Chains A and B, each alone.
Chain A
Amino acid sequence: MDLTPERYQKMVKRAGPSSPLGTHCLWAFGVGGAICTLGEGLRQLYLSLGWDQDASGALTSITLIGLSGLFTSLGLYQRLAARAGAGTLVPITGFANAVISPAIEFKVEGMITGVGAKMFVIAGPVIVYGLTASWVWGLIYWATTQMGWGG
């Protein structure tokens, strides 16, 4: 059998079915949009109840996280995500799912070594690099204001 890795890679590329990109994009757009519309609806509701802009935003995030937690534990969020992909991954509900799902999964290994240690196994990198990016951007912002360029 005379098969080089390079030739085999080409065969593999041909043999593998490709993802249905159009369908996936439509699902992501529809579901992601629906989650964001729900968020905006919640924000309007909180505003109408007399909360100010900041509090309404925070309450909206909290509600969406709570709903994501509920649907994740009922086993429904991942069923929707299997079709919606980035539509359920990108909104705050996706981040909540990434934290809650390992917490449920590793509960059997104890509250400290299981839930505590594994809870951020997926979301951890997002937090690390999110904070790093904000720190770098903070430095740039500070430097530009020192030079009189920024606001």
Chain B
Amino acid sequence: MSRKETLVLGQGAVIRAWASVGGKKEGEGPLCREFDLVNGENSLGQDSWEQSECQLQQQCAELCLRKGEITPKEVDLTLGGDLQAQCTATAYAMRSLGTPYAGLYGACSTMAQGLALGACLSSSCLLPRVLVMTSSHFCTAEREFRTPLEYGGQRTPTAQWTATAAGACLLSPKGEGPRITALTFGRVVDLQITDINNMGAAMAPAAAQTILRHLKGRGTRPGDYDAIVTGDLGQVGSRLLHEILEGEGLPLPNHRDCGLMLYDLQTQQVDAGGSGAGCSASVLCAHFLPRLAAGEYRRILFLSTGALMSQTTFLQGESIPGLAHAIELEGCI
């Protein structure tokens, strides 16, 4: 048997319910009306930013379960993660949710990672009801990866803005809703980008490689999808993705990037666009899943893109490994 790069799931896993929650800036962006919930204050009434992100995940998980008309006790497994060290936003959110839990870290690629793993478990009925959720918070990410919030620094034009947002999906083998029908796990690609303020450039080659592998594995062309969606390549990474794929003879006219959709780049001062584990998760749940459910999109390819460095490896001069996982989503027939 030849080695499979792309998994095809037959009937697939159904995304039975989904929810998206945003912060203040996200609520002022182009998708403001599409979120299930927008918080007017990024503190969410908590004492620390870490607690605020935890609260963000709780809100999102509760909303998703309520929409799916299911109690936490009926969830077989939660797969989740965030950008905080040791994925604490998710782990602490799980204290109150109480479902079985496996934490994931794929940086900003976590949502597609979780959905891909969850779809395997759910569609095979090993664990039928899987909740997948991720989040990011601008203030926790700045604290962990950059400088204090009140520090008077100047951002570079290639920098991206970490989204204060969360997304959650409830998977089940049967039912109504968009389906995950195929998936490709990404490989780490590192083309020696060392600039922590240009993560789009670090991730674009990984996204390009996963798209190429998925299309080859499925025997499809970009035109077979209504949209090919990347997580958070932003302006610079998107430009590079197009250039790489055009070099491979594969133009992507139907490419959308969640990092470019979440904010208005002209007015919201986010430089090259949005980023963060919550960026692709929230845009998927706020924008794409409702349209797949409504039949507006028939089939999309969705990738979350991650830059897998830490503050320590960055300071030691290491380059940034990029990773992108792809899931193929089909709308309601």
Contact with A along B239-255 (1 / 0, CB 8 A): 11001100110000000
Residue on A nearest B49 in the bound complex, by CB? A108
**Complex interface: stretch among A47-55, A72-80, A125-133, A140-148:** A72-80
B residues less than 8 Å from A94 (CB atoms) = 152
Report the nearest A residue to B271, measured CB to CB. A17
Mark each residue of chain B from 168 to 192: 1 if its CB lies under 8 Å from any CB of chain A, else 0.
0000000000000000000000011
| Given A12-B198, A78-B152, residue A19 in contact with residue B157 (CB < 8 A) | yes
B156 at the A/B interface (Cβ < 8 Å)? yes
Which residues of chain B are within 8 angstroms of A75 by Cβ–Cβ distance? 150
Contact B155–A82 (Cβ < 8 Å):
yes
Report how far A87 CA is from B247 CA in the complex, Å. Answer: 43
Interface residues of A in 75-106 (CB under 8 A from B): 75, 77-78, 80-85, 88-89, 94, 97-98, 100-102, 104-106
Cβ–Cβ contact A82 & B208, under 8 A: no
CB nearest neighbor in A for B139: A105
Give min CB distance, B333 to chain A, whole Å. Answer: 34
Q: A11 near B: Cβ within 8 Å?
A: yes
A5 and B152 contact, Cβ closer than 8 Å, known pairs A15-B236, A19-B157: no
Interface string of B188-229 (1 = CB under 8 A from A): 000111000010010001001100100000000000000000
Count A-B pairs with CB separation below 8 Å: 99
Q: Does B102 contact A (CB under 8 A)?
A: no
Residues of B within 8 A of A11 (CB): 240, 243-244
A1 & B151 in contact (Cβ 8 Å cutoff): no
Q: Is the interface of A mostly helix, strand, loop or mixed?
A: helix
B81, chain A: closest CB distance, angstroms: 23
A81–B158 contact, CB under 8 A?
Answer: no
Which residues of A have CB within 8 Å of B157? 16-19
Q: Which one, B8-16, B58-66, B141-149, B280-288, is touching chain A?
A: B141-149
A145 to chain B, nearest CB (A): 40
The answer on a CB contact under 8 Å between A101 and B147 is yes
* Chain B hits for A84, CB < 8 A: 154
Nearest-neighbour CB distance to chain B for A84, whole angstroms, equals: 8
Q: Is A8 an interface residue (CB 8 A)?
A: yes
Tell me whether B48 and A108 are in contact (CB under 8 A).
Answer: yes
Question: Closest Cβ of chain B: how far from A91's Cβ, in Å?
Answer: 11
Q: Is A134 in the interface zone, CB < 8 Å from B?
A: no
| Alpha-carbon gap, A5 to B193, bound state (A) | 8
* CB–CB B152/A122 < 8 A: no
The 10 closest A-B pairs by CB, nearest first: A81-B152, A105-B148, A101-B150, A5-B192, A101-B151, A101-B148, A85-B154, A8-B191, A17-B157, A15-B239
Residue positions of B touching A, CB distance < 8 A: 47-48, 143, 147-158, 191-193, 198, 201, 205, 208-209, 212, 235-236, 239-240, 243-244, 247-248, 269, 272
List 19 A-B residue pairs with CB atoms under 8 Å apart, sorted by A's residue number.
A1-B205, A1-B208, A1-B248, A3-B191, A8-B192, A9-B192, A11-B240, A12-B201, A12-B240, A16-B198, A24-B154, A72-B150, A77-B150, A81-B152, A82-B152, A82-B153, A101-B147, A101-B149, A105-B148
- In addition to A16-B198, A77-B150, A82-B153, 12 A-B residue pairs with Cβ atoms within 8 Å of each other are A1-B212, A9-B192, A11-B240, A12-B193, A12-B198, A15-B201, A98-B152, A100-B150, A101-B147, A101-B148, A101-B152, A105-B143
